[in-house]
């Protein structure tokens, strides 16, 4: 399998969940994978798991909300691998609360990781991709950012913002040979949804025509398509991978 042969890919939040599934999928397709994650223990475990499958993989600890960290990440990858072909802005957190109970800290923290983190990583890799006259930038939005979701003022704001930034960057960077797209996952079976009360999950499932939550590999396959040569003329798109939860 060689759809990403020798491509150098940074996957933020790649230590678990959707990000790790994406790292596995990219590695299967021949990519050199950099797992950039906040969680040292999980990051090292994931690096080892991929190396056991003979993947070319490196874990680099990073907080995407910290610009100095992100600049160091990008400099290390460029120095070690010579280029950066793919950036998957996947790192994300939730701090859910109803509007009346949400603290300014809860609001700010989610915006810093989920929105500023995407800005930081994209701004840091863009000059390298512009110089290469080639690159793929894919960011993770959410159905919460498109339709809203009870308890997610902060998260919905960040995920809607990602779509706006994606379209802006598609216009700015498309003419430089860089494709910029977003994936819009529906509710997907990872640690993130474990915090959602069961009655809410049941209600959500009943609204999905496919009658199940997403699996991490469902989202990873969408990233793969948008990272591959097969999507060369797709730019500024927000690809829903949500089982048709809302149409
Ligand atoms: N739809 C409709 N009503 C809802 C609701 C929902 N999804 N969730 C909660 N409510 C209602 C409750 O039934 C309750 O109604 P009443 O006051 O009439 O009883 C009211 O809102 C308050 O709910 P809680 O009693 O649960 O309030 P709380 O302060 O204890 O907790 C909460 C609030 C933290 C938001 C909690 O309800 C919760 O965790 N909800 C789920 C939030 C969610 O869906 N998060 C998604 C995480 S996964 C993710 O983010 C991935 C992605 O991209 C989609
Ligand atoms: P997860 O919680 O399983 O994984 C998130 C990863 O991001 C973790 O490895 C975590 O350590 C890392 N991370 C968190 N903060 C970070 C930071 N500041 N810097 C670097 N890494 C950081 O979550 P999941 O479900 O795999 O989510 C991946 C992305 O998909 C997130 O952006 C999430 O918002 C989005 N998403 C998830 C959905 C779901 O239902 N699971 C639905 C829609 C979008």
Reported as a single tens digit per residue, the pLDDT across 91-140 is 999 999 999 999 999 999 999 999 999 999 999 999 999 999 999 999 99
Residue 27 included in any domain:
yes
The model's pLDDT over 144-187, given as tens digits with 9 standing for 90+, comes to: 999 999 999 999 999 999 999 999 999 999 999 999 999 999 99
Tell me the best of 190, 205, 241 to mutate to test the pocket of ligand 2, counting ligand atoms within 8 Å of each CB and taking the most.
190
Active site residue 155: yes
Q: Give dist(CA 234, CA 57) in Å, integer.
A: 27
The answer to the question of residue 119 being in a domain is: yes
Q: How many domains does the chain have?
A: 1
By most ligand atoms within 8 Å of CB, the mutation choice from 17, 93, 96 for ligand 1 is 96
CA distance 10 to 90: 10
What DSSP string runs through 217-240?
Answer: HHHHHHHHHHHSGGGTT--S-EEE
Whether residue 40 lies inside any domain: the answer is: yes
Task: Determine the structural domain holding residue 213 and report its residue range.
Answer: 8-241
The rounded Å distance from CA 150 to ligand 1 centre is: 5
Query: Residue 52's domain is classified under what CATH number?
Result: 3.40.50.720
Per cent of the chain over pLDDT 90 is 98
Starting from the CA of residue 113, give the closest ligand: 2
Q: How confident is the model at residue 141 (pLDDT cuts 50, 70, 90)?
A: very high
Tell me the average pLDDT across 219-232.
98
Q: Which residues line ligand 1 (CB under 6 A)?
A: 94, 96-98, 101, 142-144, 149-152, 155, 187, 192-193, 196-197, 200
Q: What's the number of CA atoms in the CB half-sphere (13 Å) around residue 63?
A: 8
**Structure tokens given for 154:** 């902060």
Ligand 2 within 6 A of CB of 37: yes
Closest approach atom of ligand 1 to CA 142: 53
Instruction: For residue 181, tell me if it sits in a domain.
Output: yes
Reported as a pLDDT band with limits 50, 70 and 90, residue 246 is confident
Q: Which ligand is nearest to the CA of 102?
A: 1
Determine, yes or no, domain membership for 2. Answer: no
Structural domain includes residue 202: yes
Tell whether 85 is covered by a domain.
Answer: yes
- 151 part of a folded domain: yes
HSE, CB side, 13 Å, CA atoms: give it for residue 140: 29
């Amino acid at each position: 399998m060689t759809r990403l042969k020798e491509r150098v890919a940074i996957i933020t939040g790649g230590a678990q969940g959707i990000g790790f599934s994406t790292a596995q999928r990219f590695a299967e397709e021949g990519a050199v994978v950099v797992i950039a994650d906040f969680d040292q223990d999980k990051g090292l475990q994931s690096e080892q798991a991929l190396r056991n499958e003979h993947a070319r993989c490196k874990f680099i600890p990073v907080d995407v909300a910290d610009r100095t960290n992100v600049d160091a990440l990008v400099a290390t990858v460029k120095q070690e691998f010579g280029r950066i072909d793919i950036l998957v802005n996947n790192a994300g957190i939730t701090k859910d609360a109803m509007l009346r109970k949400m603290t300014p800290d809860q609001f700010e923290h989610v915006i810093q990781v989920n929105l500023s983190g995407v800005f930081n990583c994209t701004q840091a890799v863009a000059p390298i991709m512009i110089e290469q006259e080639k690159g793929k930038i894919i960011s993770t939005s959410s159905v919460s950012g498109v339709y809203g979701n009870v308890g997610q003022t902060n998260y919905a704001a960040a995920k809607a913002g990602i779509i706006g930034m994606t379209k802006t960057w598609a216009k700015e960077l498309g003419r430089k040979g860089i494709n910029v797209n977003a994936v819009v996952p529906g509710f997907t079976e990872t640690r993130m949804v474990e915090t959602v009360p069961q009655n809410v999950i049941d209600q959500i499932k009943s609204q999905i025509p496919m009658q199940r939550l997403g699996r991490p590999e469902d989202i990873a396959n969408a990233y793969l398509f948008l990272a591959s040569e097969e999507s060369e003329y797709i730019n500024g798109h927000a690809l829903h991978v949500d089982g048709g939860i809302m149409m």
